[in-house]
Amino acid sequence: MNGHSLIAGKWLTGEGDFQSAPTTGDAKTYSMGTAELVDQACIAAEEAFWSFGYSSRNERADFLERIADEIEGRGAEITEIGSAETGLPAARLEGERGRTTGQLRLFAAHIRKGDYLDLRHDPALPDRQPLPRPHLKMAQRPIGPVAVFGASNFPLAFSTAGGDTAAALAAGCPVVVKGHTAHPGTGEIVAEAVDAARRACDLHPGVFSFVQGGGRVVGTTLVQHNYIKAVGFTGSLAGGRALFDLCAARPEPIPFFGELGSVNPMFILPEALAARGSEIAAGWAESLTMGAGQFCTNPGLVLLPAGTAANVFLDTAAKALREADAQVMLTDGIAQAYHSGQSQIATAEGVTTRVVETADGRNARAAFHVVSAEVFRAIPNLAHEVFGPMGIAVLVDDLSDFVDMAKSFEGQLTATVQMDAGDAELANRLLPVLERKAGRVLFNGFPTGVEVADSMVHGGPYPASTNFGATSVGTLSIRRFLRPVCYQNLPDVVQPIL
């Protein structure tokens, strides 16, 4: 561990230091990133693009696979420091490491097949009347250097070599990562692994850089740098919106692919509630408290018809949440925001609290509140994310309210429907609304956990994400960092490297 930033193959110091805040062990000192380091990284990334952006698919696939190998070779070290920094258990980090390396290998296999290029061909029609058609070909091409912001809640899968970085590299785009101060040591080790893979593959050093800390100065400089052509971000709505606005205000506006927040509503339809309300309640409580509720797909809101069956659900869920252990949150700031946010909900007029959050400091316990549909409509904050293990149940008197309330929601990452065969009519009325509101619609499951696969969509209308046509998980995520180019009457002796 050197505590420095990796800039185009060299570990460099900035101006000033910051301290890590581990849950166990001693704090470590890290050199603060600066605007100057960002500038060096972006210049090097632009230089690297002229070779990396025109490398073959096999060369980039080899690079992704070598990164996976290098991360696995440092597995024990990553787990040790990651657990100390974040409080996440070793098993969670080992699983996340497997997801990260599996994602890298999936992307490698995907680009080798070439389908992501979306190749299209219209042959010339010289005899067409009234005008001939030229010979046309189209392919997806990399856009240039990409900025990636590490996430607090996923030190591996959504950070230094996580989904945004893997997708950009697969597309042929050099990457500049802004590391998250919640896990600077973890970020450094993974950056070391990426650079080792780069050297082994003999690639330009500007293909990957990693800037530690630096706060708003580093973030602002990065998204406004002339050489950066897109940004990947996972974080808060306020922080993401500020960066999104900076991207839009540039002389050359660039796409900002931000994942910002979601309450992930779950609709329990009447037949399902009557038949298996207790079972659903237990599963929901487990999903809600997984990882101290620090998942972007945490199902913080559940809607169900009022009545006897609803009382069974509420009692079962409340019992499970009361018995759930306190868990360490990722940072002191996240814990404080959770304590404050759930307390504000608990004291709002018309809210009935079934489970009180009693932990303090960096620990958190579950909280559970119940409201009527009328109260929910009257208090807009009830539909906003509180990051942590807090759930709100909304009791609906009229089944038509399911559809009306679904229409009122902002964009979501997920929406879940719990249904049995007798609920089909209502489910069919809900589905058109939910597919307009969410990037992933689940049936008879729980949203926590996102499968890395070709079909996955992890995104949604704003504010779930800032680009509703994109996903940050799955092979389709590579398309974010590509743009179509049409070649007209391209001679055989002049061919793009695809």
Positions marked catalytic: 259, 296
CA distance 399 to 484: 46
Contact 412, 438 (CB under 8 A): yes
CA distance 11 to 165: 19
Packing angle of the helix pair 237-249, 215-224 (nearest 10 deg): 40
Q: How does strand 136-142 pair with strand 482-488?
A: antiparallel
Contact 277, 284 (CB under 8 A): no
Q: Which residues contact 162 (CB under 8 A, 6 or more apart)?
A: 100, 103, 148, 150, 151, 154, 156
Contact 32, 5 (CB under 8 A): no
Q: Which residues contact 138 (CB under 8 A, 6 or more apart)?
A: 118, 119, 120, 121, 484, 485, 486, 487
Contact 365, 400 (CB under 8 A): no
Q: Closest Cα to residue 85, out of 180, 178, 167?
A: 180
- Angle, CA of 358, 322 and 449, to the nearest 5°: 100
Q: Closest Cα to residue 208, out of 243, 160, 248?
A: 160
C-beta atoms surrounding 476 within 10 Å: 21
**Overall size of the chain counted in residues:** 498
Residue type, position 387, single letter: F
Contact 206, 44 (CB under 8 A): yes
What are 483's strand-pairing partners? 141
Half-sphere exposure of 390 (CA within 13 A, CB side): 28
CA distance 58 to 109: 9
Q: Closest Cα to residue 206, out of 175, 166, 172?
A: 175
Burial 63-93 (b: 16+ CB within 10 A, else e): bbbbbbbbbeebbeebbbbbbbbbbbeeebb
CA distance 67 to 73: 10
What are phi and psi for residue 439, nearest 5 degrees? Answer: -80, -25
